[in-house]
Structure 1
């Protein structure tokens, strides 16, 4: 027996003073309502309605049950209205998991603007390069940067492309020479990212098509920011996404290697646990980030 459904049906019977009229309102048969009220009375161990062929009236227990049922249903309605309002208005706590490198280089400068636009959202940001279980971690949203995402029960929205290319410092290239083809990379000091989808090779796409370069790195790192710093320090050649490489390249600290070639293009994905998880505050953040990255 669905207690809440039966409670609503009982109140409708009392208000309409008729099983038939209540059944018509609810789109069920009078016999079904009669059976449900009997089950309710049996479960409570008392009679709620006195019924004859001509009339129906509440017993003392029935008046108490009706009064309290009205209160309970009103509280449930108020709760549902409150949740709907919260889902429709960008407010409340928002827990987000973000890759450390993306969070510190691309997201951090945008946070003051977001907080000014949405003052009723309380951000709780976690920075972690490894993919986390967002449901177990209690996150509303996870930002992931991948060429693609595997099928899962999660809902992913691609919000911005990410270009991935090879870089080295001008000093390194002056000492060791500038590679002219992907094959030339095998003779250079290589620095790789541990968390890459393919940490053992670089697959470069250029005018001649795709070329796979096996990696024998002198360093394997779990941080793109440390990788950037070592490249700037002239320790070798490595791959970086544009949101990390653009600033040092503009300052002349890094130089793109094989500028006509790119690694697999990635995307910034906004991932939620399910479709219903994308409430107003979550969608506000996703759309803000999409618009901001488009402008940047």
Structure 2
């Protein structure tokens, strides 16, 4: 392990280069020469034993290891700035880039309507919001906070707080049901066109609980398999099959009669919405402010 006195050598310089994408711009920003900046990054790479940057005569880009190191270093520098602000009377005003990942349907239906309140209140936070139904790796992908919707979160060293709870509804259009019949039992689904959500571990297995609490496992044949709940809903409204989606993904499709709920008298699987983040210790003000905001605005 490197001498602790040299642990942070080159880190601030490297982060500047990575942010600005140029040794020259990093030199101008810091008041040093370009050669000094280049030497500091070279010494850092030598100490770490890894290449952080791809260099050509025309471009500069981060390696995979460099991208991960950049995200971690950026957080360390922001934490250090936060510490200085706290003891200098600034009281840690939330600031800096905040990277968030959120499922598309939840982001559009729930987060989007209130997000302007957050950006208006915290104008020194640069918000980077990625709507993606893919299960991202919070640490490796460099996110500060991830919003997840799941029937059950996997065991993890990450911290999670439940924001709210929704339900999974089985739906189809009235015209589809008039043409193909309404299933009375989950086992009847094997005779229907099914539109499934591909990001599930087993998209072709739908689980139900009966009134005695027993689990029923239904194998369905997916007519369409997609990773987007909005597309599932659009296809169902267009009479293309039966879907199972979280209630929060719906707009007014049920109220205006575009979709009809099936198995209304069956227990509905709960879907929890969670905020997930790395640690409660040394949480930055920007992360804490966002988590508190989501809980206050969107919590049950």
TM-score, structure 1 normalization = 0.68
TM superposition shift of 1:214: 0.9
- Cα separation, partners in 2 of 1:266 and 1:78, compared to 1, 3 Å: closer
Q: 2:262 — aligned with what?
A: 257
Does residue 81 of structure 1 match 2:76?
no
Q: 2:124 — aligned with what?
A: 120
- Cα separation, partners in 2 of 1:79 and 1:194, compared to 1, 3 Å: closer
Contact 1:99 1:127 (C-alpha < 8 Å) held by counterparts: yes
Contact 1:202 1:212 (C-alpha < 8 Å) held by counterparts: yes
- Cα separation, partners in 2 of 1:78 and 1:193, compared to 1, 3 Å: closer
Whole-Å separation in 2 of the counterparts to 1:144 and 1:188: 30
Q: 1:271 aligns with which of 254, 263, 276?
A: 276
- Cα separation, partners in 2 of 1:258 and 1:246, compared to 1, 3 Å: farther
Contact 1:162 1:267 (C-alpha < 8 Å) held by counterparts: yes
Q: 1:30 — aligned with what?
A: none
Contact 1:206 1:260 (C-alpha < 8 Å) held by counterparts: no
- Cα separation, partners in 2 of 1:203 and 1:250, compared to 1, 3 Å: same
TM superposition shift of 1:235: 0.6
Q: 2:219 aligns with which of 204, 214, 222?
A: 214
Instruction: Give the SS at the match of 2:253.
Output: helix
Whole-Å separation in 2 of the counterparts to 1:144 and 1:100: 10
TM superposition shift of 1:205: 2.1
Does residue 286 of structure 1 match 2:280?
no
Does residue 90 of structure 1 match 2:94?
yes
TM superposition shift of 1:242: 0.7
- Cα separation, partners in 2 of 1:86 and 1:134, compared to 1, 3 Å: farther
Structure 2 counterparts to residues 52-67 of structure 1, below 5 A:
none
- Cα separation, partners in 2 of 1:262 and 1:193, compared to 1, 3 Å: farther
Q: Pick which of 119-128 and 216-225 moved more.
A: 119-128
- In structure 1, runs of 5+ residues without a counterpart are 5-76
Instruction: Answer with 1 or 2: which has the greater Rg.
Output: 1
Contact 1:207 1:260 (C-alpha < 8 Å) held by counterparts: no
1:196-232, Cα deviation, whole Å (9 max, x unpaired): 2331211112424332211111111111111111011
Whole-Å separation in 2 of the counterparts to 1:271 and 1:111: 18
Q: 1:236 — aligned with what?
A: 241
- Cα separation, partners in 2 of 1:281 and 1:87, compared to 1, 3 Å: farther
How many equivalent pairs are there?
223
Does residue 197 of structure 1 match 2:212?
no
Contact 2:82 2:284 (C-alpha < 8 Å) held by counterparts: no
- In structure 2, runs of 5+ residues without a counterpart are 7-79
Q: 2:109 — aligned with what?
A: 105
- Cα separation, partners in 2 of 1:285 and 1:247, compared to 1, 3 Å: farther
Whole-Å separation in 1 of the counterparts to 2:135 and 2:81: 38
- Cα separation, partners in 2 of 1:256 and 1:246, compared to 1, 3 Å: farther
Instruction: Give the SS at the match of 2:281.
Output: helix
Instruction: Give the SS at the match of 2:143.
Output: coil
Whole-Å separation in 2 of the counterparts to 1:239 and 1:270: 23
Which structure is higher in helix share?
Answer: 1
Whole-Å separation in 2 of the counterparts to 1:78 and 1:293: 30
